[in-house]
């Protein structure tokens, strides 16, 4: 495994350009499918299974043998054509003919072919899970980017409020306590900006790693388009339809179907192996020529087989049958897991959609309007500093909640795509 990773890293590092900036989620998915190390490693498992199929389809090579011997205390000069040297040549089919007649080779191919199909589907399942991780990390990075952007706006707003308070304090219109409150609000905005930037750096590094980046890219800009919400971005979704489609599309469930086929073929092969292979052979031997030779030129044919007296493949048969039962139970378990995955993801999707729509409908706009009115009223002396700071804190909290709701909504969509085993976005 270590050498496989090293070879893959060396092969892809030579032609691995820097990630484009700004980086969108669709482009990130495209790059991941081309460069992602975990996906490339999963692909190697498929190639290994292809090699296993070639091994299973192989026909045993015939065995050629030869021998040379010498008879002692024998004088070959006493007769014409006599020789003290014995020569022999043999040829054996290594059981290949009987293996073909009993279809043992065919059963081995059935086992390996089903394993290859399972490996391909397992690679697709790895892609399904890895793409969900990428979407999740990208959404976290987009969330941190949006939070950092808004934190700068909030910091500018609180800075204006602090500037206004400093002027009023200099004129003796407000107390030092009011000025301190404005300064605290400005410092809190700076704290939030620093936290958002730290989260952005961490999420960006995770995205770069998943995309197979060789070097850190601190200047990489991640597009926040992935957080945009619009009606009709997804088709009408129902639980029953998604669940039915998931049972048909989920590669892990389909892979277990192939594993059951492999295990069934392995049981048949283990039972077939109880019949021993007949090995056919032909041998040519001579020690001299003519009637007086110790061993005149002789061609003989032989058959050999192992007698299954003490052992008749009981362990292999029992192991194969246990594997078949295991794969059957695994498929039942994964089928139940599909139902759980779709149920949880669909519930999160419906909840996230309601939260986002409520935010966009009234809550976010009203919080911003309340903040703007409180600033106008305070500047005109019609409201107190506490009312202005409270309106600003409320707006900052509501906007932060809105961005979180967007992130949760699109994460739920990604989770639903993972659970259903298909893309849902238009």
Q: What is the pLDDT of residues 332-378, one digit of tens each?
A: 999 999 999 999 999 999 999 888 888 888 888 888 888 888 878 87
> CATH 1.20.1600.10 occupies which residues in the chain?
19-59+102-274+324-420
Q: Are 193 and 158 in contact (CB under 8 A)?
A: no
Report yes or no on whether pTM surpasses 0.85.
Answer: no
Q: What is the pLDDT along the chain (426 residues), one digit of tens a residue?
A: 444 545 444 444 455 677 888 888 899 999 998 888 888 988 999 999 999 999 999 999 999 999 999 888 888 888 888 888 989 999 999 989 988 998 999 999 999 999 999 999 999 999 999 999 999 999 988 888 888 888 888 788 778 878 877 887 787 777 778 778 778 877 888 888 888 888 888 888 888 888 887 777 777 888 888 888 877 778 888 899 999 999 999 999 999 999 999 999 999 999 999 998 889 999 999 988 887 788 889 999 999 988 888 999 999 999 999 999 999 999 999 999 999 999 999 999 999 988 888 888 888 888 888 888 887 887 777 777 778 778 888 888 888 888 889 989 999 999 999 999 988 876
User: Three-state SS string across the chain, please?
Assistant: CHHHHHHHHHHHHCCCCCCCCCECHHHHHHHHHHHCHHHHHHHHHHHHHHHHHHHHHCCCCCEEEEEEEECCCCCHHHCCCCCCEEEEEEEECCCHHHHHHCCHHHHHHHHHHHHHHHHHHHHHHHHHHHHHHHHHHHHHHHHHHHHHHHHHHHHHHHHHHHHHHHHHHHCCCCCHHHHHHHHHHHHHHHHHHHHHHHHHHHHHHHHHHHCCCCCCCCCCCECCHHHCCCCCCCCCCCHHHHHHHHHHHCHHHHHHHHHHHHHHHHHHHHHHCCCCCCEEEEEEEEECCCCCCCEEEEEEEEEECCCCCCCCCHHHHHHHHHHHHHHHHHHHHHHHHHHHHHHHHHHHHHHHHHHHHHHHHHHHHHHHHHHHHHHHHHHCCCCCHHHHHHHHHHHHHHHHHHHHHHHHHHHHHHHHHHHHCCCCCC
pLDDT value at residue 15: 57
CATH node for 61-94+275-311: 2.20.200
Q: Are 297 and 284 in contact (CB under 8 A)?
A: yes
Q: What are the start and end residues of each CATH 2.20.200 domain in the chain?
A: 61-94+275-311
What is the reported pLDDT for 107?
94
87 phi, psi to nearest 5 deg: -120, 140
Show the tokens assigned to 18. Answer: 């820097």
Pair of tokens at residue 241: 């339809």
As its CATH architecture, domain 19-59+102-274+324-420 has: Up-down Bundle (1.20)
HSE, CB side, 13 Å, CA atoms: give it for residue 132: 19
């Amino acid at each position: 495994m270590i050498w496989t990773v090293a070879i893959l890293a060396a092969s892809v590092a030579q032609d691995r350009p820097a990630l484009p900036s700004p980086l969108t989620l669709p482009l990130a998915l495209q790059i991941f499918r081309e460069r992602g190390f975990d996906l490339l490693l999963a692909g190697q498992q498929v190639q290994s299974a292809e090699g296993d199929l070639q091994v299973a389809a192989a026909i045993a090579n015939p065995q050629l043998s030869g021998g040379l011997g010498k008879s002692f205390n024998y004088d070959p000069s006493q007769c014409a054509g006599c020789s003290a040297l014995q020569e022999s040549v043999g040829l054996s089919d290594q059981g290949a003919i009987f293996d073909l007649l009993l279809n043992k080779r065919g059963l081995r191919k059935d086992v390996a072919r089903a394993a290859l199909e399972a490996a391909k589907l397992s690679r697709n399942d790895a892609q399904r899970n890895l793409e969900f991780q990428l979407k999740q990390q990208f959404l976290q990075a987009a969330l941190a980017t949006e939070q950092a952007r808004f934190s700068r706006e909030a910091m500018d707003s609180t800075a204006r409020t602090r500037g206004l308070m400093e002027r009023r304090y200099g004129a003796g219109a407000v107390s030092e306590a009011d000025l301190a409150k404005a300064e605290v609000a400005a410092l809190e905005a700076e704290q939030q900006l620093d936290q958002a930037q730290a989260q952005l750096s961490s999420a960006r590094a995770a995205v770069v790693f998943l995309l197979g980046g060789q070097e850190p890219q601190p200047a990489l800009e991640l597009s926040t388009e992935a957080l945009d919400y619009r009606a009709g971005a997804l088709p009408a979704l129902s639980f029953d339809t998604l669940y039915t489609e998931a049972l048909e599309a989920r590669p892990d469930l389909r892979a277990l179907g192939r594993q059951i086929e492999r295990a069934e073929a392995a049981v048949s092969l283990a039972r077939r192996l109880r019949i021993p292979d007949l090995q056919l052979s032909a041998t040519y031997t001579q020690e001299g020529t003519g009637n007086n030779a110790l061993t005149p030129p002789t061609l003989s044919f032989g058959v050999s087989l192992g007698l299954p007296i003490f052992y008749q493949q009981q362990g292999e048969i029992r192991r194969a049958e246990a594997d078949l039962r295991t794969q059957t139970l695994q498929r039942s378990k994964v089928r139940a897991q599909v139902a759980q995955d779709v149920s949880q993801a669909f519930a999160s999707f419906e909840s996230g959609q309601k939260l986002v729509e409520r935010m966009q409908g009234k809550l976010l706009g009203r919080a911003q309007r309340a903040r703007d009115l409180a600033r106008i009223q305070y500047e005109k002396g019609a409201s107190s500093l506490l009312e202005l700071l409270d309106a600003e804190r409320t707006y900052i909290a509501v906007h932060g909640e809105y961005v979180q709701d967007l992130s949760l909504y699109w994460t739920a969509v990604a989770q639903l795509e993972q659970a259903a085993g298909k893309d849902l976005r238009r």
